Structure 1
Amino acid sequence: MLRLALADIWHEKVLFLCSALGCAAVLAPLIVLFGLRQGVVAGLRAELLEDPRAREVVSIVNRTLEPTMFERLGADPRIAFLVPRTRALSATIVLENPARPGNGLRVELLPTAVGDPLLPGYSAIDGDELILSGTAMQRLGLNAGDPVLASVARSRGSSREVLTLPMRVGGTAPLSAATRDAAFAILPVLLLTEDFLDGTVDADARPVTETEARQRPFAGFRFYAARLEDVPALDREMRLAGIEVASRAEAVAGLLRLDRNLALLFLAIAGAGGAGYLVSLGVGLWAQVERKRRDLALLSLLGVRRRALLMVPLVQAAAVALAGAVLAFGIAAMVAGVLNRVFAGTVTGDRPVCLLTLGMGAAAAGVTIVGALVAAVLAGLRAAAVTPAEGLAEG
């Protein structure tokens, strides 16, 4: 019956070609629309993901946050990285190149830890290391591995005391991490400068261990969501808890809304167009069965089983769907190429605005074939119901 169904298609190849073109006419715009959704949303998402601050949530008001809160945040699976921070007024330090004495540079001191998204590539940061911003490195004339003196001064009565820490340059922070003069250090270094400015430690004090440092309250935090989708929820939860934070929750929420709206638009158009085509395909196959009822009756008279007759419209519908899907993907690929050239660099940077893959083509073909088979079931049942007597009566 498979050979017979294909032979019938070849015999009426003009009708088959028209049916395949009709399928392609409906499917090609849907593939292009889906490719546009994939290209635009994927491009915007990639731009956000390339910026490490897209998943960042930072507290902006100094508060007293207990260690239990940081333990709770650290156990949240939605948070991929968390580091406490000290008060902003105490998070500055003066750096000096030992080869250029007397030319100190005041920089912002930022906390970091292993796995910091702002500092990719640094698997570990020692207690005596500083990761400097590019501007600070250039102004101090330093390179990775060079020694650097870090100092902070305080006034006690009429005397002036200076805490000096011999450090070394661990590397350069990416431009996305800090565009101003800044230095990244582990948490104990920031705590030491804060305690020194508060007058609770002497000038000869040295940083405590990381474990000891995290047992203390802090003024704020900086954490990164594991996924972009988690940023709006985490931002909202922090604000509900009374903690003012800064994040890109609105931009992320806008991207997610765009993704959902485009998905709904695609489903609406695909549903309307696909349903219309499947109905027309089913009606066409039914009419074809009615037109060939005498031939089917003769096959039944020759001993062909009803189950075999049922397969004829199904095989032909699958062939039409497969040919239409191949034609549609070819047309969509050409349209996508034109769109990508016309809108190059205007919407999603250097990424394609219409993104098509072979996997999408295979999925489109699979869905189309399944839909065509469903539409052909009634025609197949009609073909299977043809009795030998109908062929004899018409003969």
Structure 2
Amino acid sequence: MSNRVGLVAYLSLRDLLHETRLTVCSIASLAAVLAPLILLFGLKNGLIEGLRAGLIENPRTRTVVNSANRGFDDAFFERLAARPDVVFVAPRLRTLNSEARFERPDRPGQVRRGELLASGAGDPLLGPLPSPNGLEAVLSESLAARLDVSAGATLVMRVSRARDTEVMTQRLTVVGVAPRASFARDAVFVSLPLMLLADDFMDGRIAANASISDVAVRGRTYAGFRAHTRRLEDVPILDTALRQQDVEVETHAAEVLGLLGLERSLNLLFVLLAALGAVGFLVSLGVGLYANVERKQRELSLLRLIGLLKRNVMLLPILQAAAVGAIGAAVAALVAILGSGLLNRLPLVDQTQDGGRPLCLIEPWHLLAAAAISIVGAVFAAAFAGRRAAAIMPAEGLADA
């Protein structure tokens, strides 16, 4: 049986080589349909991935903060942190208590104001930077530039109350500088106890000489929160969930929804174009193979007469279609790769994709998927021609035997 299959494979390929013009036309037809589709998919993929990466790489995109001060207790933060779509949550102070003054010990009088933000392990705004503990701090890039400090430096933090008649002073160690993409304003990321120490002092609950150990973290009511979602797609979900709880928030949900809508629209466009192109080519290939079987009834009946079975003869057009699909997909992949390289060298790329990302992104699995779909589609289109070939009887070739 293996000999028969090998013979059928040999005959099918020899027939393709014998009718070179028809074979080249079939391969060219497939490549002409498939190459633009691969390029279109690469453009869609590059555009969407570029936009998505731009949003993902900006950690503020996945940030959700309350827009108005109100009371948030421990239970609220526990529920928020327990959500599977939330990776980090931290309390925020009232606007009046969220600012402190900072200066370098060697430059007294050169004071800069910065916003106090609670941070901790896993804070997306800090990324790989160490999270501040105790009297440590991570500065935003803008504030670090104003103070001319870097990691390892020492800063003096001052908070005041009673019209600046009472001042609390703390010496902080800078353990990192957050990039501008994380936080554009002047800010200092500190541990939650340190932020609460400043808050309690400004509210008159503790003395100026109090320390972090004097601060109670549990059992408090916070004016606000800062949360970060796990994925980009989670931002609109969390936005909706909080608004349903009458919590007004500021998010990038509109931008995320716009990106997701664009992705769906481009996917639909690609599917429609791919379907139209594929149907047109497969019908053309199927009709061509069927006509080829009709034209070669005498030769096929002779093959049946010398001992080939129905299933062997059925394989002839199917193997030819698979060969055309494979070669056509290879040609289309080569054309698409060359076209992609040309598109990515156009000046438009720098205006469209920030960070040097490719405008047209074609990955190896895209080409493998296109080849697999082409071969399967071609085999399916050849199935009708194969059934017609199997229906040819050996007796039809007796007159030529």
Question: Do they fold alike, i.e. is TM over 0.5?
Answer: yes
Mark the CA change 1:144 to 1:255 in structure 2 (over 3 Å): closer, same or farther. same
Deviation at 1:73, TM superposition (A): 1.1
1:307 corresponds, among 307, 311, 321, to 311
1:213 match: secondary structure: coil
Cα drift, residue 394 of structure 1: 6.4
- Which residue in 2 is equivalent to 1:53? 60
The alignment partner of 2:45 has SS state of: helix
Secondary structure at the counterpart of residue 53 of structure 2: helix
Distance 1:249 1:124 in 2: 27
Which position in structure 2 is the counterpart of 1:331?
335
The one-character-per-residue Cα deviations of 1:3-36 (angstroms, maximum 9, x if unpaired) are 1111111111111111111111111111111111
For the residues of structure 2 that align with 1:153 and 1:209, how far apart are their CA atoms? 18
Conserved 8 A contact 2:123-2:131: no
Give the equivalent residue in structure 2 for 1:382.
388
Alignment deviations for residues 157-200 of structure 1 (CA, whole Å, 9 cap, x no partner): xx922222222222222122333332110111111111111111
Contact residue 62 and residue 220 of structure 1 kept, 8 A: yes
Distance 1:101 1:123, change over 3 A: closer
Work out whether residues 149 and 166 of structure 1, in 8 Å CA contact, stay in contact via their aligned partners in 2: yes
Matched residue, 2:268: 264
Conserved? CA contact 1:125–1:186, under 8 Å: yes
User: Deviations along 1:20-75, whole A, 9 cap, x unmatched?
Assistant: 11111111111111111101101111111111111111112111011111111111
Tell me how far apart the structure 2 counterparts of residues 283 and 326 of structure 1 sit (CA, whole Å). Answer: 23
CA distance in 2, matches of 1:358, 1:166: 54
1:356 is matched with which residue: 358, 362, 365? 362
* Residues 298 and 82 of structure 1, relative CA distance in 2, 3 Å threshold: same
Contact 1:114/1:122 (CA < 8 Å) preserved in 2? Answer: no
Count of residues in correspondence between the two structures? 392
- How far does residue 133 in structure 1 lie from its aligned partner after superposition? 2.4
- Classify 1:152/1:266 alpha carbon distance in 2 versus 1 (closer, same or farther; 3 Å): same
* Post-superposition offset of 1:217: 2.1
CA–CA distance in 1 between the matches of 2:209 and 2:386? 91
The match for 2:117 among 110, 115, 118 is 110
Equivalent in 236, 243, 248 of residue 240 of structure 2? 236
Aligned AA for 1:359?
Answer: W
Displacement of 1:140 after TM fit? Answer: 3.1
Residues 347 and 310 of structure 1: CA distance in aligned 2, closer, same or farther (over 3 Å): same
Mean Cα deviation higher: 344-353 or 32-41? 344-353
* RMSD of aligned residue pairs (Cα, Å): 1.8
Unaligned ranges ≥5, structure 1: none
- Mapped partners of 2:214, 2:331: distance in 1: 66
Partners of 2:88 and 2:227 within 8 A in 1: yes
Deviation string, structure 1 residues 105-157 (Cα, Å, up to 9, x no partner):
3221111111111112224322110112233334334342232221211118x
- After TM superposition, give the deviation of residue 298 of structure 1 in Å: 0.8
2:321 equivalent in structure 1? 317
- Partners of 1:282 and 1:177 lie apart in 2 by 57
**Where does the alignment leave 5 or more consecutive residues of structure 2 unmatched?**
1-7
> Aligned to 2:184, which of 152, 156, 179?
179
Contact 2:129–2:178 (Cα < 8 Å) also in 1: no
Taking only the aligned residue pairs, the percentage that are identical comes to 46
Match of residue 76 from structure 2 = 69
SS where residue 128 of structure 2 aligns? coil
Give distance in 1, aligned partners of 2:194 and 2:399. Answer: 99
**2:93 — aligned with what?**
86
Mapped partners of 1:270, 1:10: distance in 2: 29
Residue number in structure 2 paired with 1:19: 26
Partners of 2:81 and 2:185 lie apart in 1 by 29
Per-residue deviation, residues 55-111 of structure 1 (Å, max 9, x unmatched):
111112111011111111111111121111111210111223222234333221111
Within 5 Å, which residues of 2 pair with 1:236-255? 236-255=240-259
- Give the aligned partner of residue 197 of structure 2: 192
Does the aligned pair in 1 maintain the 2:58–2:182 contact within 8 Å?
Answer: no
AA matched with 1:216: R
Q: Please say which of residues 115-124 and 296-305 is displaced more in the overlay.
A: 115-124
Output the TM-score relative to the length of structure 2. Answer: 0.93
CA distance in 1 between counterparts of 2:130 and 2:72 reads: 27
